[in-house]
Structure 1
Amino acid sequence: MTWVAPRRIFDGARLRDGLALRIEDGRVADLAPIDPRMAAQALPGLLTPGYVDLQVNGGGGVLLNTEPTVAGMEAIAAAHRGLGTAALLPTVITDAPEVLDRAGEAALLARGRPGLLGLHIEGPHISVARRGTHAARFIRPLDDRTFGVVRRLRDGGVPVLLTLAPEATAPGQVAALAAMGVIVSLGHSDATADQARAALAEGAGAFTHLFNAMSPLTHRAPGLVGAALNAAVPVGLICDGIHVADEVLAIALRARPAPDLFFAVSDAMPTVGGPDRFRLYDMELQVRDGRLVNPDGNLAGAHVTMADSVARLVGRVGVAPEVALRMAVTVPARLIGRPDLAVLDGRDAADLLLLDQTCARVETLANALGSGPP
């Protein structure tokens, strides 16, 4: 048994001082006010649950689209785990129908494996005009084949987040997905605000990477951006200073109707924790000056970690550490139906992070106690 006393603790709701954790068999067994009789080991830094990332295309040199297998998912999770992300949603983007079929089967087989939360299906039911780097030849309206994949996943108890464009659906389809327990996220869309509100009325529950690949906010046409900012549902943000300028992030954070309606995502590609280039479809993508770009120099996914994102939110955007941590832990954990990922009790010490005063990641608690991997 070991008592440890970090400088500050984020318990999933707020930052707390003067607390110690009791570690037994590598797990948190208790949380209590510091008492001299504990002989608690003082630890520098801020302790937080590991990050929860709901949009991860790849990592460690592996892209889910090209390796839609359990092994591929586990390799991606391992790469991000070493960078501070305790749990993630492997994300398959627009591709041939059989790629989605294979990713769905893999997610079923991977159910319950550490660090893997289910499946994020991003496309192919999106807008051609707002496709980003998604291949136009695979884009199609929402159809029975995708419903079949999603139904098998939900019948198997696998969480599903499905990014789609409202204009790629027929009336009632979003409601049918929501009735299955699918988290429908609006994105890669040229929809009007009215179309977005109709999808929300049917049960859409989130928006995907605000500002990117969506109809913009103007003073007479709010677009998908305006609908997202006004909606009372969680909205994802890529916080790398590239996909969204820091000043715009700050404006967006002030614009929501209530707290805890933003969550950070990495939108990471295989270059995170891997080589600086990889192939998607028939093109090579590479990192140039911190930007992941396609041969035309256009953004093609992100080269950022959740740890980088939290540090940027705090250090560049001026977000309070407590708010940034809720964006990286609490809000995404609740959205995917895993609020346990935002608590400390019972957690493995390898799932907890010690951060420095800038909120840059330092190490896991397991490593700090000498019980983690070398």
Structure 2
Amino acid sequence: MKEESVSVKQGKKALFYLIVQYQTDKIEAERTIQMGNGNRGNTMIIKNGLVFTPEGKFEKKDFYIEGEYVAKETTDNKEVEAEGCYVIPGLVDIHFHGCVRHDMCDGTEESIQALADYEAANGVLAICPATMTIPEEELFQAMNAAREHKNGKGADLVGINMEGPFVNKEKKGAQKEEDIKLADVELFHKLQEAAGGLIKLVDLAPETEGAMDFINQVKDEVHVSIAHTMADYDTATEAINRGVDHITHLYNAMPPFSHRAPGVIGAARDSECYVELICDGVHIHPSCVRATFEMFTDKRIVLISDSMMATGMEDGQYELGGQPVTVVGNLATLTEGGAIAGSATNLMDCIRTVVKEMHIPLESAVRCATLNPAKSIGIDDKYGSLEEGKYANAVVLDKDLNIVSIIQKGQVK
């Protein structure tokens, strides 16, 4: 057989690539029509889904999106069929440290973007990552990196949770003892300036020197949370009366609740504070989680992941706040000493755990991972519920709580 010329071979190769490109464009066009892809605009109707309403119930209804926002109605004919699926707001995680081998304390744009990408892929569309008790210069570096970050790809960076350095050494947990400081208003203001005002939560132990005065001075500019503390009931109650409105990872790194010494937990119960719960199946026993929902109701509980950089990775050796951590499954512990060092799971998995293994109603779990965290840091004007005028951030789940589709600001991801 006569050998083909070079020009004929090149022509066939070019034709092959044209066919491949045509097929690719055809598939993408079909996907655009079926899923309302942002390539043709982002106005759509999600049909027949069980939509999580602002009242905290699932209702079979259509859900409308106009541009980046939830709409009352739209005349656009692009539709997403959600029959048999749940449609919930994009999750809001206000307390996690890292994932996919990156940490907020890395202080780099690369790490913040990695956090944003991973969280968005798992239905968490607004993030308020937490710093740790680390050297002051590293803390400033983390704040600077957050200030410079530009939202647009991945989850929105909506704030910073400053967990440390104003904690009690006796309940330091995985916080580095040599970097723990007394509450310092001047330092906080400098860090807030470096962060461009992004610090939404600042944690402290109210029994430590200067903590009450700190609360008095900053309560109107940031949400203050009790954390890593030895405070008794009276001290915690005084702190709450002065302006504390949040409790960090309830039960963990604080005295236990007892019939004669209710401590921080009892003080929180007698207040209107939001309380964080880590429902990863490791930090808190399922019975205690159920009792907490009875005690605080789903109006005040905030589900958090408290995840560290091993989340989304295999078991092995990692780091948290400059300290080596060993991870096996969902359990992360300091390599030296064995203290629990955050979790190795994401917030969507926490919802699955709290519903399937701890038997909390899905409606309650969703509220505690969406509206409550958004309200607790003051971003519920745009995030946390599927209400007209808020960002069209939604996650479509099947009956087994697997992600079917993610919609961020009106775009199907």
Which residue of the partner structure matches residue 89 of structure 2? 49
Change (3 A) 1:38 1:300: closer
Contact 1:20–1:40 (CA under 8 A) maintained in structure 2: no
**Correspondence for 1:7:** 49
Q: Which amino acid aligns with 1:163?
A: D
Name the counterpart of 1:62.
102
TM-score, L = length of structure 2: 0.80
Gaps of 5+ in 2: 1-42
Choose 216-225 or 45-54, whichever is displaced more.
Answer: 216-225
Residue in 2 that maps onto 1:269: 308
- Number of aligned residues: 362
Greater shift after overlay, 289-298 or 159-168? 289-298
| Structure 1 segments (4+ residues) deviating >6 Å | 37-40
CA contact (8 A) 1:161 1:184 kept: yes
1:88 aligned to which of 124, 127, 130? 127
**Aligned residue number for residue 247 of structure 2:** 207
How many Å separate the matches in 2 of 1:38 and 1:52? Answer: 28
Task: From 218, 230, 242, give the equivalent of 2:258.
Answer: 218
Say which one has the larger Rg.
Answer: 2
Does residue 267 of structure 2 align to residue 232 of structure 1? no
The answer to whether 1:79 aligns with 2:118 is: yes
- Partner residue in 2 for 1:20: 62
Q: Per the alignment, in what secondary structure is the counterpart of residue 55 of structure 1?
A: coil
Q: Which whole-Å deviations, capped at 9, do the CAs of 1:183-220 have from their partners, x for residues lacking one?
A: 10001001111111111111011000000001111221
> Structure 1 residues 31, 271: closer, same or farther in 2, change over 3 A?
farther
Shift of the 149–73 alpha-carbon distance from structure 1 to 2, 3 Å rule, reads farther
Unpaired stretches in structure 1, ≥5 consecutive residues: none
Alignment TM-score, normalising by the size of structure 1: 0.88
Q: Post-superposition shift, 1:249?
A: 0.5
Pair 1:301-2:342 in alignment: yes
Give deviations 1:316-343, integer Å, cap 9, x for gaps: 2222221111100010011111112123
Separation of aligned partners in 2, 1:364 and 1:149: 41
SS of the residue corresponding to residue 85 of structure 2 reads strand
Letter in 2 for 1:244: I
Cα contact 2:272–2:300 (8 A) shared by 1: yes
1:323 match:
364
AA at the equivalent of 2:145: A
CA RMSD in angstroms, aligned pairs only: 2.7
The alpha-carbon distance between structure 1 residues 159 and 64, as it changes in their structure 2 partners (threshold 3 A), is closer
By how many angstroms is 1:109 displaced? 2.4
**Deviation (angstroms), 1:151:** 4.5
Could you say what secondary structure the match of 1:129 adopts? helix
**Pairs within 5 Å for 1:186-205:** 186-205=226-245
Equivalent residue, structure 1, for 2:325: 285
Percent identity at matched positions?
26
How far apart, in 2, do the equivalents of 1:97 and 1:366 lie? 38
Question: Structure 2 CA distance, aligned partners of 1:348 and 1:225?
Answer: 34
Aligned residue for 1:115? 156
Assess if the C-alpha contact under 8 Å between 1:54 and 1:120 holds in 2.
yes
1:188 aligned counterpart, secondary structure:
coil
The reply on whether 1:354 has 2:396 as its aligned counterpart is yes
More displaced 10-residue stretch of structure 1: 223-232 or 131-140: 223-232
Of residues 97-106 and 81-90 in structure 1, the stretch that sits farther from structure 2 once superposed is 97-106
Whether the 8 Å CA contact 2:96–2:128 is kept in 1: the answer is: yes
CA–CA distance in 1 between the matches of 2:80 and 2:95? 38
Q: Which amino acid aligns with 1:357?
A: K
